[in-house]
Amino acid sequence: MDHVDDISLTRSLEERLVNVWPAVTTLMMDGWVVRFANGYSGRANSASALVPGATVNLPLLTQIEALYRAEGLKPQFRISPLAGNGVEAFLLAHGYRVKDEALSMTVPLDGSVASDPRVRLATSYESAWLEGISSRQEESKRSPANLLAIVSRVKLPFACATLHENGTDLGFAYSAIDRGFAEIGLVMVDEKTRGKGLGGAIMTSLMQWAATQGATHAFLQVDTNNTPALRLYESLGFRRAYRYRTLVKDQG
């Protein structure tokens, strides 16, 4: 059963996201967490509401925009159910556009899924893992150094997953656990091997690892247009918790 827009759950997951996917610099401003990480990752380079009903007025907007401009970044806001009514309309009226839309999804963990022997889990950030993920990202994220700048700040239990088959690394992912919830992200498989179950093997391996570490739930974020990923996650029992949009301002 979906727990759609449960404000308590939304707040819990949004708070955990700040910890499991930390930015290089983080500011708290009137109920918003404003984050900067060299432009790597939308979540780590945007302002997100952390308290229900968080609003934005013109002075706050002007200040936040100036901070992003000073870093050479476009101002971005993630609009989840925590944002106050009218915030999205206010941003759109001030030159923002919808960049993308995503779902946060959760699943209870009971240890019933199996790990895959092809998946190796490490508790250090190895260069092959950093390079493997970076080389498979979109152009703006092909920086192992910027990825390391984020994950090296995690102060929680974590695992770096690599799927190795026939002498080749074919898939990667990452998970970190905060107070019983394991966030799974950076799920990458080679394009030529998609549709062969490798993503599922990585996911179940990390879900099993998280359960052995005492996590009771896993959660993730996925673009609403990523139909293959949505299909995979739903097959593993993940259900929608809430939807959010990222708004960006290109000029001004």
Whether the model pTM is above 0.85:
yes
Average the pLDDT over 128-141 and give the result: 87
Task: Of 85, 79, 84, give the one whose Cα is nearest residue 98.
Answer: 79
Contacting residues for 138 by C-beta, under 8 A, at least 6 apart: none
Domains and CATH numbers, the chain: 7-105+243-249 (3.40.630.30), 107-240 (3.40.630.30)
Would you say residue 2 has pLDDT above 70? no
Average the pLDDT over 124-142 and give the result: 88
Question: What Rg, from alpha-carbon coordinates, does the chain have?
Answer: 18
Mean pLDDT of the chain: 94
Would you say residue 195 has pLDDT above 90? no
- DSSP SS3 for 210: helix
Would you say residue 83 has pLDDT above 90? yes
pLDDT tens-digit readout, 30-75:
999 999 999 999 999 999 999 999 999 999 999 999 999 999 999 9
Confidence of residue 252 (pLDDT cuts 50, 70, 90): low
Alpha carbons 1 and 90: distance in angstroms, whole number: 33
